[in-house]
């Protein structure tokens, strides 16, 4: 017999109805009123994470909401790669932190590190500060490296960046619920998707410590161009599915 919640989610077009039903029950248990509110939100195309007010990412649960980029499961490999690259990092920066999901996850993996998150978007910053209070990292408002205190120059052991990397011509390929409810700033990467990477690389050397490294993620088809941009620089590229 088909689960009634799964059936309702399927009826409103949810492709991963079983997974969504499990997540709704994890957050709200048997609260039927809240469940109905979530189903109504999904009917209106609101991302599940925005409707729930929370997202699971790399072993942590972070607050998210309207207008904020939803942490993607595919970016969890970035956390693993970053920790493997610099397991002894003492100063860590999450560039373009969004809700702070990567910063929070790194905090649990690198408990001795001083972790900073940077973002420009006011909506994202509000959630990042909420998550920072829970997970113990510091949030800065501004554009990439310029947001950081000057005393961090040449001291960053590990910079992690899940950068916007969708080419402008492919923005419409983003699933409709996310496309409608997330800001372009969080996903749009310019003509080839690599403009944010270029911006970060511009000042990279002045911020990294002598053995520091930038770990970032690109789509497979961007790997060659990204390698060329990072040639001779302390950059580790991780490949993810867009």
> Using one digit for the tens of pLDDT, what is the confidence trace for 34-47?
999 988 999 888 99
CA angle 149, 155, 157 (to 5 degrees): 120
Q: What is the pLDDT of residue 168?
A: 86
1 pLDDT tier (thresholds 50, 70, 90):
very low
Residue 74, CB-side half-sphere exposure with 13 Å CA sphere: 12
Q: What is the pLDDT of residue 238?
A: 84
Print the SS3 string covering 19-55: HHHHHHHHHHCCCHHHHHHHHHHHHCCCCHHHHHCEE
Q: Which helix (H) or strand (E) holds 17?
A: helix 17-28
CA 230 – CA 242 distance, rounded (Å): 20
Q: Is the pLDDT of residue 3 over 70?
A: yes
- Beta-carbon contacts of 150 under 8 Å, excluding residues fewer than 6 positions away, are none
- Tokens in use for 50? 């925005």
CA 58 – CA 101 distance, rounded (Å): 8
CA angle 83, 47, 183 (to 5 degrees): 75
Ordered domains of the chain (ranges, CATH): 4-63 (no CATH), 73-240 (3.40.50.150)
> Using one digit for the tens of pLDDT, what is the confidence trace for 159-210?
999 998 878 888 778 777 777 777 888 877 889 989 999 999 999 999 999 9
Q: Is the pLDDT of residue 2 over 80?
A: no
Q: Is the pLDDT of residue 76 over 50?
A: yes
242 pLDDT tier (thresholds 50, 70, 90):
low
What is the reported pTM?
0.89
Cα–Cα distance list, 177 to 4, 101, 121, 133 (Å): 23, 20, 20, 29
List of E strands, 96-164: 114-119, 138-141, 156-161
């Amino acid at each position: 017999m088909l689960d009634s919640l799964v059936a309702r989610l399927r009826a409103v077009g949810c492709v991963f109805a079983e997974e969504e039903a499990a997540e709704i029950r994890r957050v709200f248990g048997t609260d039927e009123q809240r469940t109905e509110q979530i189903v109504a939100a999904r009917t209106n195309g609101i991302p599940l994470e925005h409707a729930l007010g929370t997202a699971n990412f790399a072993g942590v649960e972070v607050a998210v909401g309207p207008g904020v980029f939803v942490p993607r499961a595919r970016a969890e490999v970035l956390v693993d790669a970053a920790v493997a690259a610099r397991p002894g990092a003492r100063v860590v920066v999450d560039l373009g932190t969004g809700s702070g999901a990567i910063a929070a996850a790194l905090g649990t993996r690198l408990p001795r590190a001083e972790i900073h998150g940077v973002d420009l978007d006011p909506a994202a910053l509000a959630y990042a500060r909420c998550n920072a209070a829970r997970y113990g990292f510091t949030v800065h408002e501004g554009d990439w490296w310029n947001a950081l205190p000057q005393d961090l120059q040449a001291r960053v052991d590990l910079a992690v960046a899940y950068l916007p990397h969708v080419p402008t011509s492919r923005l419409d390929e983003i699933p409709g619920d996310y496309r409608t409810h997330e800001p372009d700033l969080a996903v749009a990467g310019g003509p080839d998707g690599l403009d944010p990477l270029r911006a970060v690389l511009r000042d990279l050397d002045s911020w990294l410590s002598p053995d520091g490294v930038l770990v970032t993620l690109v789509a497979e088809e961007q790997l060659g161009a990204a390698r060329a941009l990072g040639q001779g620089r302390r950059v580790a590229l991780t490949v993810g599915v867009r």
